[in-house]
Amino acid sequence: MNSVLPLEEKRVTVETVPTVHAVAEEAPAKVVGIRHLFAAFGYSLAGAMRLLQETAFRHELLLALVVLGSFAYAGASMAACMVQIVLILALFSFEAINTAIEEIVDRVSPEWSKTGRHAKDLGSFAVLCMLAANALHALFVLFPLLHG
C-alpha cells in the first residue's frame, strides 16, 4: 500500500533561522539637527568611496565621461545633456543598490542559494536596464548630430 504522508507545516521562528556569527560592530551614536545633515553626507560619501571599489562602477563612470564628452563635441543641447546626466545618476544609483544587494546576500547567506542567486540576478538586470536607457538616449541624441 502506497501511503502519502501530509506535509508538515514548519513555522519559521528566531530559533529556526540560521544565524551568521560575526564580530559585533558598534553602531554609531545618533545625531540630530544640522549635525545629522553632515553625518548623512558623510555616509553618502562613504558609500561613493565603497562603490569606487567596484570594477563595474569604474567602467560605468568612464563610459559616462566618454558619453558626456561626446555630447559636448557634437554640440548636444543643454536639455539633452541634462537628461543624460539624470540617466547617468540613475545608473549610478542602481549600481549602488545592486552592490548593496550583493553584499547583504553574501553576509546573510554565505553559502550558495537559489534565492540569493535570484536576488543578485535581479539587481544585475536592473543595472542592465539602466545601461540600455543610457545607451538609447545617447544614440538618439548623437546619431543625428554626427550623421545629420
CB-facing half-sphere around the CA of 67: CA atoms within 13 A: 25
22-43: pLDDT as tens digits:
566 788 788 899 999 999 999 9
Query: Does the residue 49 lie in any domain?
Result: no
Of 22, 20, 64, 27, whose CA–CA distance to 43 is shortest?
27
pTM: 0.79
Amino acid at 32: V
Mean pLDDT of 15-26: 58
Q: What is the mean pLDDT of the chain?
A: 89
Whichever domain contains 131, its CATH number is: 1.10.287.3610
Catalytic residue among 15, 95, 103, 111: 95
Q: What domain count does the chain have?
A: 1
C-alpha distances out from residue 10 to 6, 7, 35, 81, 141, Å: 12, 9, 47, 55, 56
For residue 79, being part of any structural domain is answered with yes
- Residues in binding site for substrate: 56-60, 95, 124
Residue 35 lies in a domain: no
Cβ-Cβ contacts under 8 Å for 84 (sequence gap 6 or more): 67, 68, 71, 76, 134, 137, 138, 141
Q: Poorest-confidence range of 44-48, 50-54, 111-115? A: 111-115
Catalytic-residue membership of 8: no
Any domain includes 75: yes
d(CA 134, CA 10): 46
- Domain extent, residue 114, equals 54-147
Cα(8)–Cα(12) distance, integer angstroms: 13
In a domain, 7, yes or no: no
Annotated binding site for a divalent metal cation: 54, 102
